[in-house]
Amino acid sequence: MNLNTVWFILVAILFTGFFFLEGFDYGVGMWLPFLGKNDAERRGIINAIGPVWDGNEVWMITAGGALFASFPQVYATLFSGFYLALLLLLVALILRGVGFEFRGKRAEKGWRTFWDWAIFTGSLFPALLWGVTVANLMRGFAIGQDMNYYGGLIPLLNPYALLGGLVFVALFLVHGANFLVLKAPEDIARRAGKVAFTGWIVATVLTVAFVAWTFFATDILTKPGLNGLIPAVLAAFALLVTGWLVRVGKSGWAFVAGAITIVFATVMVFAGLYPRILISSLSPDWSLTITNAASSHYTLKVMTIVAAIFVPIVLAYQAWTYWVFRKRVETGSEKLVY
């Protein structure tokens, strides 16, 4: 296995970790205005992710940095071609972060309600835009021979990509509800358990439609050699198990099964892409691959050494954080004031 493939796998792992961790994070943010009936309950919901939400976002930053260092041409094409979408994503994330920090600065109901909806918006739009982005990666977009994208924002908002965005939103809502069942105050946890199954039904319908469309519109599941078919089947099985576990009230295992669904769905995308990273819809020869878009061998070698040293440290620290804050939060707890 050469270093190009190693770094393709590492980037895939980083994005998998991001969607798994930030998935329930976004889901909790989207449920905030609906499951919290008063300020104390909404504060309890936010406190459930208070110690970890900003750490979860580090996975996105790290994945972007790894992509820039290992496959700089992919980074340049993706971030310039999706510039407006990424700008909207960053604005939403800023709004979300500000909402977490500002809602507790004043006691007025209107003030806190405004920032609660800011957190909702800042969770919904990133989930939707990430789904749109991933769907476009699967289908391909107009990359020219010069490795530049031509088309602007509107072609990226095609029906297939928008359905992918809705799938992300639905899966994250289920993931977030299952997390709240484990971590939120008891009254909120019971409500979250009720909406989790309804959300699962919606997510299942949207996912089935998206996978069927993917089968006919892309080669992600059908290309010769390595493809995403087996991970897709495993993700579908995990999703069905998630629904059953939610139904019988096994919340801990339901959260695990939902996480496995997201993990295998992400693996499906990267397995279906390999050895490509960005697919050109204009010509297969113009696609960006792990070969024509990679950094030099020396750069990848140095990065591998650095990653081998520091990635385990970061993982250990984040695991420690989750262990320390593993207990269920209390309604209106002032230990973390948001």
Give dist(CA 225, CA 204) in Å, integer: 28
Region 215-223 average pLDDT: 94
Average pLDDT, the chain: 92
Q: What is the pLDDT of residue 152?
A: 80
What amino acid is encoded at 82 in this protein? F
With the C-alpha atoms ordered 49, 53, 54, 56, is the resulting torsion angle positive or negative?
A: positive
Region 239-267 average pLDDT: 95
303 within 8 A of 292, measured Cβ to Cβ:
no
Burial 311-336 (b: 16+ CB within 10 A, else e): eeeeeeebeeeeeebeeebebeeeeb
56 within 8 A of 21, measured Cβ to Cβ:
yes
Q: Which pair of structure tokens corresponds to residue 205?
A: 């319908």
Whether 302 shows a pLDDT value over 50: the answer reads yes
pTM of the model: 0.93
Please confirm whether the linkage preceding 231 is cis (ω < 30° from 0).
no
Q: Which pair of structure tokens corresponds to residue 324?
A: 């320390």
Q: What is the pLDDT of residue 220?
A: 96
Nearest to 11, CA basis, from 297, 207, 256, 300: 300
Region 240-246 average pLDDT: 96
Q: Which pair of structure tokens corresponds to residue 45?
A: 């919901």
Q: Where are the alpha helices (DSSP H) in 36-52?
A: 39-49
Q: What is the pLDDT of residue 238?
A: 97
Give dist(CA 279, CA 276) in Å, integer: 7
pLDDT digits (tens, 9 = 90+) for 111-170: 999 999 999 999 999 999 999 999 999 999 999 998 988 888 889 999 999 999 999 999
pLDDT: which is higher, 307 or 331: 307
pLDDT digits (tens, 9 = 90+) for 59-93: 998 999 999 999 999 999 988 888 888 899 999 99
Q: What is the pLDDT of residue 283?
A: 92
Place of tokens 């695990």: 256
Identify the band that residue 330 occupies on the pLDDT scale cut at 50, 70 and 90: confident
